[in-house]
Every structure is written in structure tokens, then in C-alpha cells.
Amino acid sequence: MHPEPAPPGQIQPAEGRPADQRFTETPPARFGSNGFGPAGAPPTGSTPWAGAWPAGKSATRTALVVLLGLAFIGLNTAIAYAAVGSKVISIVTGVAFCLVFMIVVRMLHRAMWLSLLSFLPALFVLVGSVELAPDLALEKRGVRQEVTIVDAEVAGKRHTFTLEGDDGPLGEPLIYQGSNPGYQVGDILTVLTDPDGVIALKVADRVDSTSTLGSLVLGGSGWTFIALVAGWRGHVRRREGRFDTLVI
């Protein structure tokens, strides 16, 4: 005898064994985002690091993001020190590190606002890491001397001041980028010059490694705080099955 056809919605049993009917009915409410998988499963195409994390994994990945930010700060400061005569290199690498940190915060949090907020401390990180090395070098080996501004040239926002000391004109001018330098011909300034000729001279009262270091610490503290908040909020969002959003 042949078995009778299975009624609609039922699976045909094989060799007299009862068929498993678990997936023949309508999936229960919250049974996955698209009707498949466990409740709260991420939809197809969701971003990396999706799905609920245990508390330990959230804490570990948050700590990794914090350490990544601190590593970026130390690495860019080291690059600025190695290429102390050229700020362009450390500026480029610093901008790249800041963008990578923003992306990682975005992945950890699964929303954009903390990632965008990390741009503010990133400015302190960038300025501090780029300026710390030349300031330290000028404070260590710079020659302090009193000079007089004897000539000034302006090209757009670039101001070039010719300086003269006790021994005659200096071979290196004072360069100021901006709309209001605050200097004029006849002013007497105290400057620090690099005897090796690697670092551009600077006005002495603008060479302050302590202040630059403070900017670096402030930026690093801001990044650490943002990473901790992103880790906490990301853990809650994954636990509640919330997916990527732009703002909150």
C-alpha cells in the first residue's frame, strides 16, 4: 500500500516515521528579523560585529578600541619625532589614524553620533602629536636670541617676516599662516632657532611642550571616554536587537 498524501502544510513522512513539523507552520513572533533564525538575529547585509555579545566580549572589544586610540596617539607622535623637519608626514598619518578611529567607534556603537563626536578630541590629538616633537626639540637644543623685524611680505594668508639679530640678518625668516599675525616691522621678538637647521624657528613664547602635551592628553582622554560610551551603548543595542542607525 502507498501512504496517503500529506495534507497541505505537512511534510511527507519517510518510511513510516513521523516527519518533523517544526518549520511547517507560521514562525512565531520575533522569530528572527526576517522570519528565520533566533529572535534578534541581524538582517542580511548588517554590518560587522553584528549580533548580541556577551558582556565579556563587549568589555574586551571596548578595551581594544581604547588601546587602539592610545596606540594611534603614540605612533603618530613617534612619526612626528622621526620626521621632525616635515610636519606634512605626521599630519597625513594623523588624519588617517583619526579617520580609522572614527570608523572603529562607529562599528562598536552601531550608530554615528559618537563617531562624529570623536572628531573634536581628534583635533587635540592631531595638533598635540604633530607639535610636541618640534617643541621638545627646540626647548632642548634651540638657540634663544632677541631679534627685530626689519621687513614683512604678505602673500594671501602667508606672512613672511625678515629678522635681524645682534650679528646681522638671520638666514631664516619667521613664517606666519593666518589673517592676523600680530607682528609688524620694528617689533622686537625673542625666538628659538634650531642650530641643526631642521626645525623652523618659532617665537619663544609659542614654544611650550607642556601645553602641547596637555592637548595630547586631553585628546586621548576624550577618545577613551567616547570609546567606553560606545562600548556600553553598543552592548545595549545588540542585546535589544537594534540595528545600525544614523543618529541614536
DSSP conformation letters of the chain: -PPPPPPTT-PPPBTTBPPP-TTSSPPPTTSSSSSSSSTTPPPTTPPTT-S---HHHHHHHHHHHHHHHHHHHHHHHHHHHHTTT-HHHHHHHHHHHHHHHHHHHHHHHSSSHHHHHTHHHHHHHHHHHHHHHHHHHHHHHPEEEEEEEEEEEEETTEEEEEEEETTEE-SS-EEEESS-----TT-EEEEEE-TTS-SPPEEGGG--HHHHHHHHHHHHHHHHHHHHHHHHHHHHHHHTT----S--
| Other beta carbons less than 10 A from residue 20's beta carbon | 9
pLDDT tens for 51-65 read 678 888 889 999 999
* One-letter identity of residue 246: L
Mean pLDDT for 107-127 is: 92
Q: How far apart are CA 228 and CA 59, in angstroms?
A: 9
pLDDT tens for 38-91 read 444 444 444 545 567 888 888 999 999 999 999 999 999 999 999 887 889 999
Mean pLDDT for 152-176 is: 89
Res 236: pLDDT: 85
